[in-house]
Structure 1
Amino acid sequence: MTTVRARVTILVSSTVLSLATVTGPAMAAPIPDDPGAGAGPAATPSVPEHIDTATKSTQPVYDYDAAIRESVYVDTTMDTDSDGKDDVIAVDIVRPVETALAGVKIPVIMDASPYYSCCGRGNESEKKTYDANGVIQKMPLYYDNYFVPRGYAVIGVDIVGTGRSTGCGDVGGKDEIDSVVDVIDWLNGRNTAHTADGRQVKATWTTGSVGMIGKSYDGTLANGVAATGVKGLKTIVPISAISSWYDYTRSGGVPYSDDYMPWLGGYVGHDSPACEAVRGELGDNDDDETGDYTAFWSERDYLKDAGKVKASVFMTHGLNDYNVQTNHFSQWWTALSKNNVPRKLWLGLEDHVDPFEFRRDAWVDELHKWFDYWLQGLQNGVMKEPMATIETAPDVWRNYQTWPAVNRPISVPLSAGKLGAQGKGSVTITDDPDLTEDDIVADPTTVIAGRQTFLSAPLPVPIRISGTSSVTLKLKSDSSTTPVTARLIEYGDAQRYTGVRRTDVSSCEGASTDYDDSCYYTVEKLTAQSDHGIVSRGWIDAAHSKSLSKPTPLTPGQWTTVTVPLRAQDEVIPKGRILGLAITLSDTEWTSPNDTGATIDIDLAGSKLNLPVTSGTIAAPTKLTPIDVDITTPTQRPDLHDPTN
């Protein structure tokens, strides 16, 4: 097929469509408002030009500079700002002109986000920009630069109440999810859309096959939309994404912060009295003061609807992510596994970081294969690859056939100061809200008020912890409830990952124009020599241990069992390291507990550490010897809820 090169601009402010000089065969008539609608069947080749049947991959054959850029508004039946008019959802589209002229229908890669206007996307906080006519000019991130030349349309959706969409967002609730579903319905001919001046626009240029992608809030929307089972959504790629907003704002009834939902709604949403009222309702219904799981949180819990997911899922997460913590990917992965959803997983050492930043070339290549398989139907073998790819040391990646790799979960008993030996009697902890994590993990053989530590003998062989650990405690309290905090630590001198830092070097992924380049700064991984590392953390309100929705107050002086789930992890602990378990009560450094000041007794015989390991044993030391932990750099608590991270 002869490549046609053209600059096309569809104006949303009038019915005019302008067409610049065309290089190639003369065109008999201007491109219609919907270019795909005017092309006859004879113009469609049996195999589109962008598909290489030999390599089973799409090729960058289309002119990105000449791509069609258009902005439309998808209709809804919602009136979330109560102005008497149905909300509309702003949708910005970049797609190849050549497929439109040839009548070749193409799939869609969609990033739905609340961040396009307020905060930007990616490490460089890119925002959407528009030309003088209000038509999309620069789409953030590299997706359009890379995939449009390969025969995809790339769409950026401003969810309800954000950007150029109208209405008020409900932070992870039904309205936000439905606003994206309405766009997918339009792409599949089940809904309507119009330009800024009211002309109806149909998406006859697309196959209707949609893949959603995005990091953090964007990936969370992908999870939520997939949980509706909407037809046309073929795959999602959630990056560091939330699976339950309850679990994002609290841990087992212990809030991470107060009034987060209305704050986030105001951070990303429209500044209007109507939206302030909506955000006021969010604050009224979040139950921060109780920590209970209610109908409000059930609406924002995508796990309960995992059985509706029809799309495949390629998820990626950082094992040191304490913004969107690792329980989010693990519980979503488990729910999808139960329903046999086709899936793939990448786990990096990083925190809240897109793999585009820390493993760029491999990520783009794998993403390309994934979308080619699920959206273009190319049998490239991506689903025959290992299911899980995990970073086991900085820039060292291993493939595994499944995740988690648990084949021998073990229960490690507790005794006075020791892990791995059955204890007798009890130990006491009186809450000290002023304890920091540095205090808690330092000098583990020293008695420090407010904590109890338990240490193993040096590991005789390496062990791999793969999955979700937990701590079961038989305890009695002098209060009706108390937070309980657990930390799993490995002691031993080693070079450990500490974060990433942006460099002055950039690399380019895809085509560029003067106003939308595909080049982004790279990052480098930082490591530091240290004598300990935190394997996992966990928090629970003791009254919520048996039920998050119907807490059971503790009876002071009466024994009960409380289980503290730790955050999911996949880590190999080398031979010779010592495992440590630290138990404290309230944690005012990482959480905002509603109750403090309790004293508890822990019955050692009825308590244990539960570890998902693949090999090895955990033995108690014959005697406790001092372990020097020299913390020269204080542990940096991340801003858990900074949405721009």
Structure 2
Amino acid sequence: MRVVTAFPSPVREIEHCWIPLRDGCRLAARIWLPAGAEVAPVPAILEYIPYRKRDLTRARDEPMHGYFAGHGYAAVRVDVRGSGDSDGVLLDEYHEQELEDGEEVIRWIASQPWCTGAVGMMGKSWGGFNALQIAARRPEALRAVIAVCGSDDRYADDAHYMGGCLLNENLTWGSVLLTLSALPPDPLIVGDAWRASWLARLTRGVFFPEVWLRHQGRDAYWQRGSVCEDFQRIACPVYAIGGWADAYTNAIPRLLAGLRSPRKGLVGPWSHNYPHNGVPGPAIGFLQEARRWWDHWLKGIDTGIMNEPPYRVWMQESVPPRSSYGVRPGRWVAEPSWPSPRITTRRYALNPGGLGETSGPETRLPWRSAAALGLAAGEWCSDGGEGDAPGDQREDDAGSLTFDSEPLAERLEILGAPVVALELTVDRPAAFVVARLSEVFPDGSSTRVTHGCLNLTHRSSHEYPEPLEPGRRYTVRLPLRDIAHAFAPGHRLRLALSTTYWPTLWPSPEPVTLAVFAGAGHLELPVRPPAAEDDRLRPFEDPEGAPLPAYSELRPARSSRTIDRNTATGEVTYTIATEDGGFGAAGPARLHAIDLEVGHTMRRCYRSRPDDPLAARSEVADEITLRRGEWSVRVATETSLTATGATFELAGKLEAHAGEALVLSRRWHRRIPRHGV
């Protein structure tokens, strides 16, 4: 990324500012202002997240918010209540209190002498989620939103459930948030009150994995935070952005189809990152693109951005399977509306032995998958690191019921969500099916293109699950994740079906035999024809941003992935270990401006045993250390999940140290009934 040091406006940084709320709570803000904004007010851009503005996101924030300020915006980065240097205790994701506070923050910003009264809101992940949810509350000063890697549906596309199946990410993310929310504010900001604030967070902190595990269906808890419940609540313009390697991208076409306010969608090849840091590449000049959006909606400048196609995506080319990609070859394409009338459906029949243009005789094909199938899946949500991407699918394909096409006679491009229609039976009252669409190369290697899953007790509704009747025949439709992909001529399509997907998904209570009726099911592909207009799209600029903060890496970042197989018992143990400093690719480091050392380690361990889903076990150990001179704090959490046929067994431990002294230790043991999951 090109570093910009000279801007149209000099920038003044306010390292810390209190935003007072009506109930007496104060939220901590860091502000970047263009010089002279107090005399000549400017619009403001708010990012409002719990990831600690002063330390953990400092290296990410400065290049972005400094850039906006240099181009005539007040950039305001606020810690959510109970996080970073803000007062209070973090109670949950997108808690009602958080959203109410967000409205107050917007009013406060709009009333400042340096602000014109026009406010935009942006964010990635948590910040993309709450930007959409606050937009649905229609604060008067909020004029536009950029939501990156956010979601409109907290049940369908969030870190907890997928297709009604429990994600192991629910435990992982819950453990990370437990650690983050237990960190203290900085004594240099809050003074001697830091320890009392820390103790309040430690003693009142929430065991987040438990909260989410108690809501296994799409109930009122998830509906409250899902703007898809009523898209019409959002009246301001929305720019929804994501990447094909991210886990939240399904929301973008849904937002384009559901919103009635001005809207745009952009999907690159990226993982869970802002596009100017996009991996896999190519990264783009996202900050310039965002500035075109803000100039249009906050300053009234016609930048031409709303004259361009509303949905633009990276059409990925065929690539051999790898566990990470520096760049995904492809090209930008666009549709003038979404859903697009240009997309047509091509149907492949599921026949015994393969995918066909016409249906063959109906044949019952029973299948049971091994407990450890899914080790080639990569991460549920990729950050772009080594091992994050799905690798060669051959091992997982070998344990799946597969249907291959004949070699393609010509190039085939798809855009949208493929759908698998199945006629099936199962032999247990609770079961799920996973479908993976892959591209098979002439050498036999297999690249996963997209995938999806469905808890079959949710076959009619995620709100009202119904047990399965063993042996009864059901008709189900299983949508896969949205994707843009070009299959190469001479390659084959492969649809692979399985009844397990470990460790992405928690297994069903009992081993499941699925019987698919070949000749009665089919695969639907959303085929996109070429468009001459694609060659005339406005090119994105190269990435650029303001300078990074100065920091010294104390030691390199480390990561490892190991798979151990016990040949005597068949047990498979998959372990992922990382050490970093919260600075992207950097290891533990010292931030010079605030003289603070930051270190973070995580270890995840997943165990499974053949034909015994009740032997599944997930463990997460997470630890963050902050150190300045003689002041040092360390928060460590350990969580685990096992299950019986009727219950989930969830355990957790939190320990907080000041120097070498144990400040507090907490433990949780929870037994939570399983409801068809």
**Is TM (by shorter chain) over 0.5?**
yes
**2:188 paired with 1:268:** no
For the pair 1:431 / 2:369, whether they are aligned, the reply is yes
> In 1, Cα distance between the equivalents of 2:277 and 2:7?
22
Q: Secondary structure at the match of 1:126?
A: helix
- Determine if contact 2:425/2:470 at 8 Å carries over to the other structure: yes
Contact 1:488 1:537 in 2 (8 A): yes
The residue number in structure 1 matching 2:232 is 307
Which position in structure 1 is the counterpart of 2:52?
116
2:382 corresponds in structure 1 to none
Where in structure 1 are there 5+ consecutive unaligned residues? 1-58, 78-85, 128-139, 190-202, 495-529, 617-632
Q: Equivalents in 2 of 1:279, 1:428: separation in Å?
A: 47
Contact in 2 for aligned 1:482/1:586 (Cα 8 Å): no
Residue 75 in 1 paired to residue 21 in 2? yes
Identify the residue that residue 90 of structure 1 maps to in structure 2.
Answer: 28
Specify every segment of 5 or more residues in structure 2 that has no aligned partner in the other structure, as ranges: 1-5, 184-197, 317-327, 378-391, 531-561, 564-573, 585-677
Q: Shift of residue 362 of structure 1?
A: 3.1
Q: Is the 8 A contact 1:262 1:280 kept in 2?
A: no
Equivalent pair of 1:536/1:566 in contact (CA under 8 Å): yes
State the partner residue of 1:467.
416
CA distance in 2, matches of 1:484, 1:330: 24
Q: CA deviation at 1:372?
A: 0.8
- Give the partner amino acid of 2:106: I
Q: Which amino acid aligns with 2:517?
A: D
Conservation of the 8 A alpha-carbon contact between 2:457 and 2:465: yes
Match of 1:560 in 2: 474
Aligned equivalents of 1:176, 1:163: Cα separation in 2: 14
Partners of 2:143 and 2:297 within 8 A in 1: yes
- RMSD across aligned positions (CA): 3.2
In 1, the alpha carbon distance for the partners of 2:42 and 2:576 equals 41
Q: CA deviation at 1:392?
A: 2.6
* 1:212 paired residue number: 121
Pairing partner for 2:359 from 405, 422, 425: 422
CA drift of 1:552 comes to: 0.8
8 Å Cα contact 2:433-2:453 kept in structure 1: yes
Q: 1:311, 1:303 → 2: CA distance?
A: 15
Report how far residue 119 of structure 1 moved: 6.7
1:602-613 matched pairs, under 5 angstroms: 602-613=516-527
**DSSP-derived class of the 2:113 partner:** coil
SS in 2 for 1:108: strand
1:230-253 CA distance string (max 9 Å, x none):
222111112222333323111122
The answer to whether the 8 A contact 2:30-2:53 is kept is no
Alignment partner of 1:178 out of 100, 111, 118:
100
Distance of aligned partners of 1:637 and 1:465 in 2 relative to their CA distance in 1, 3 Å threshold: farther
Determine the structure 1 residue equivalent to 2:670: none
TM-score (norm 1): 0.69
| 1:211 alignment partner AA | G
Is contact 1:266–1:279 with CA below 8 Å preserved after alignment?
yes
Measure the CA separation in 1 of the matches of 2:406 and 2:445. Answer: 16
* Residue in structure 1 matched with residue 216 of structure 2 by the alignment: 291
1:373 CA displacement: 0.7
Higher relative contact order, structure no. (Cα contacts within 8 Å, ≥ 6 residues apart): 1
Larger Rg: 1
Instruction: Select 2:456's aligned residue among 542, 563, 569.
Output: 542
In structure 2, the residue corresponding to 1:208 is in which secondary structure?
Answer: strand
CA deviation vs aligned residue, 1:457-495 (integer Å, no higher than 9, x gap): 12222222111112121111111010211100011269x
Q: Deviations over 1:73-105 (max 9, x none)?
A: 23044xxxxxxxx4322222221231323xx22
Matches within 5 A, 1:189-208: 189=111, 203-208=112-117
Q: Give the match's secondary structure for 2:62.
A: coil
- Measured against aligned partners, the alpha-carbon deviations of 1:494-524 in whole angstroms (never above 9, x if no partner) come to 9xxxxxxxxxxxxxxxxxxxxxxxxxxxxxx
1:154 to 63, 72, 75: 75
Cα separation, partners in 2 of 1:451 and 1:361, compared to 1, 3 Å: closer
Per-residue deviation, 1:386: 2.3
Q: What is the CA distance between 1:555 and its match in structure 2?
A: 0.7
Amino acid at match of 1:457: E
1:248-263 matches, within 5 Å, as: 248=158, 249-257=160-168, 258-259=170-171, 262-263=174-175
Q: Deviations over 1:227-274 (max 9, x none)?
A: 222222111112222333323111122111254564344233245565
**Cα separation, 2, equivalents of 1:263 and 1:113:** 17
* 1:365 CA displacement: 2.4
Matched, 1:221 2:130: yes
Q: Determine the C-alpha separation between the residues in 2 that align with 1:95 and 1:350.
A: 30
Q: Contact conserved, 1:590 with 1:637, CA < 8 A, in 2? A: no
Structure 1's 232 and 307: CA in aligned 2 closer, same or farther, altered over 3 A? same
Q: Among residues 472, 475, 480, which one is paired with 2:429 in the alignment?
A: 480
Tell me the residue number matched to 1:412: 348
Distance 1:119 1:69 in 2: 11
Determine helix, strand or coil for the equivalent of 1:167. Answer: coil
Q: Return the alpha-carbon distance in structure 2 between the equivalents of residues 260 and 277 of structure 1.
A: 21
Partners of 2:577 and 2:311 in 1: how far apart?
29
Match of 2:110 in 1: 188
Change in CA separation of 1:118 and 1:608 when aligned onto 2, cut-off 3 Å:
farther
Q: Taking structure 1 as reference, are residues 577 and 415 closer, same or farther at Cα in structure 2, changes over 3 Å only? A: same
- Quickly say closer, same or farther: Cα 1:163–1:532, change in 2 above 3 A: same
2:274 corresponds to which of 331, 354, 370:
354
Corresponding residue SS for 1:286: helix
SS for the counterpart of 1:165 is coil
Secondary structure at 1:245's aligned position in 2? coil
1:639 to 1:226, Cα distance in 2 relative to 1, 3 A = farther
Aligned to 1:371: 294
Question: Is the partner of 2:288 in helix, strand or coil?
Answer: helix
Aligned residue in 2 for 1:327: 250
Counterparts of 1:637 and 1:533, CA distance in 2: 23
Supply the distance in 1 between the matched residues of 2:576 and 2:419 (Cα, whole angstroms): 23
Q: What's the counterpart of residue 574 of structure 1?
A: 488
How many angstroms does 1:375 deviate by?
Answer: 0.9
* Alpha carbons 1:173, 1:299 under 8 Å: kept: no
Number of corresponding residues:
486
Q: Secondary structure at the match of 1:242?
A: coil
Q: In structure 2, the residue corresponding to 1:142 is in which secondary structure?
A: helix
Q: Shift of the alpha carbon at 1:380? A: 2.0
SS at match of 1:218: helix
The CA deviation string for residues 282-335 of structure 1, in whole angstroms up to 9 with x for no partner, is 5554245x73122221223232142211221222211122xx343233333332
Aligned partners of 2:376 and 2:395 also within 8 Å: no
Contact 1:172 1:221 in 2 (8 A): yes
Q: Identity of aligned pairs, percent? A: 24
Q: Quick check: 1:325–1:567 contact (8 Å CA) kept in 2?
A: no
User: In 2, Cα distance between the equivalents of 1:70 and 1:280?
Assistant: 27
Structure 1 residues 69 and 107: CA distance shift in structure 2, 3 A: farther
Distance (whole Å) between structure 1 residues aligned to residue 310 and residue 474 of structure 2: 40
CA distance in 2, matches of 1:234, 1:327: 25
Aligned-partner residue type, residue 314 of structure 1: Y
Q: Is 1:265–1:279's contact at 8 Å kept on the other side of the alignment? A: no
1:388: Cα distance to partner?
A: 2.8
**Aligned mates of 1:456, 1:437 — CA distance in 2:** 24
1:516 aligned residue? none
Other-structure match for 1:17:
none
